[in-house]
Amino acid sequence: MLLLAAGNGTRLQPYSNDWPKCLMPINGEPLLHYWLETAKAIDADKVLVNLHYQSEKVQDFLSRPSLEGRAKAVFESALLGTAGTLRENSQFFSGSTIFLAHADNFCQCDFNSFIRYHQTARPKNTALTMMTFDTTSPETCGIVETDQLGVVTAFHEKISNPPGNLANGAVYLLEPEVSEWINANPEVTDFSTQVLPKFVGRIATWHNSGIHVDIGNIQALKVAQNLATRDCTGRAKNFLKLDDEWAQKFAKHPIHQLIAEQK
């Protein structure tokens, strides 16, 4: 499992000036912790988290005693792009199916169903499965068109008046073929604009009818607070335990008050 957590969070400024995007609190819990709980729920045997912006704060979070051994962190001195990160860490996944997620999304759904679909029900000849969701702001998302089998036939990346509201959720299951193609094309860095177009006609889709919010701006961060009442398995959420120094400091951080005051 690769969790992308290196972004600068520019659209979340000024909140992100002092706190990394991937650790923004969602109903009091760091966003990245939801993804680590997802990894646990699906029995992901290896989890990699890439770091860049305010990496020391993310590393401190990952070094908590309660998270020991749950994930390996890799630092990028310069952002590599999603494809670049996959290529740089290709040995970590050693030819296996990769669960790839942008950890700046708040996503709650039946992830095991997502995986089962990819393993047993996706159309033949597809090399990856993309999670989709219905968006209320299609002009800000990557909108996809699909055929009757749910295979992607076209992309529309953040354009005015796109044809529909079926959006790319930036959560994927990738077969080794995708990684092999990325490794063979070292000039490729951007997944959305350079990798996905190469596989049009071979991208299966699985629809998330649960919760999916791109925490890309302050308003979206606010919206997510009211949605985070259950974990990825559907159980009442109760992740936060003030049992270590990091959690106690986090509970007192001004970011919570900033979000509470946001109208």
Domain annotation covers residue 162: no
Instruction: Using CA atoms of 133, 136, 141, 147 in order, give the dihedral in degrees to the nearest 10.
Output: 50
> In the structure encoding, which two tokens stand for residue 255, read together?
């970011």
pLDDT > 70 fraction of the chain, expressed in percent and rounded: 94
What local confidence, expressed as pLDDT, does residue 240 receive? 56
Domain annotation covers residue 254: yes
What local confidence, expressed as pLDDT, does residue 163 receive? 87
What domain range includes position 8?
A: 2-130+171-189+212-261
Which residue bears the tokens 């988290």? 49
Q: What is the pTM (predicted TM-score) of this model?
A: 0.92
Lowest mean pLDDT among 115-119, 126-130, 202-206, 229-233: 229-233
**Which residue, among 90, 46, 52, has the nearest Cα to 185 in the 3D structure?**
90
What local confidence, expressed as pLDDT, does residue 23 receive? 95
Lowest mean pLDDT among 79-88, 124-133, 227-236: 227-236
Residue 31 reports pLDDT greater than 70? yes
Q: Give the span between the Cα atoms of 123 and 26, in whole angstroms.
A: 35
What local confidence, expressed as pLDDT, does residue 236 receive? 43
**What confidence tens digit (pLDDT) does each residue in 97-113 have?**
999 999 989 999 999 99
**Which residue, among 43, 84, 26, has the nearest Cα to 215 in the 3D structure?**
26
Domain annotation covers residue 205: no
> Identity (one letter) of the amino acid at 104?
D
Domain annotation covers residue 37: yes
Q: Give the span between the Cα atoms of 263 and 260, in whole angstroms.
A: 8
Query: What is the domain-level CATH number for residue 244?
Result: 3.90.550.10
Q: What is the mean pLDDT of residues 55-64?
A: 94
> In the structure encoding, which two tokens stand for residue 196, read together?
């996905």
Q: What is the mean pLDDT of residues 83-108?
A: 94
Residue 245 reports pLDDT greater than 60? yes
What total of structural domains would you count in the chain? Answer: 1
pLDDT band at 239 (very low <50, low <70, confident <90, very high): low
Mean pLDDT (the chain, rounded): 91
Q: What DSSP string describes 132-182?
A: EEE-S-GGGSEEEEE-TTS-EEEEEES-SS-S-SEEEEEEEEE-HHHHHHH
pLDDT band at 138 (very low <50, low <70, confident <90, very high): confident
Domain annotation covers residue 142: no
Domain annotation covers residue 135: no
Q: Which residue has the higher pLDDT, 211 or 94?
A: 211
Q: What is the mean pLDDT of residues 218-242?
A: 67
Domain annotation covers residue 82: yes
What local confidence, expressed as pLDDT, does residue 97 receive? 97
Domain annotation covers residue 119: yes
Lowest mean pLDDT among 5-9, 48-52, 169-173: 5-9
Distance of CA 88 to the CA centre of its chain: 18
pLDDT band at 171 (very low <50, low <70, confident <90, very high): very high
Q: What is the mean pLDDT of residues 207-215?
A: 93
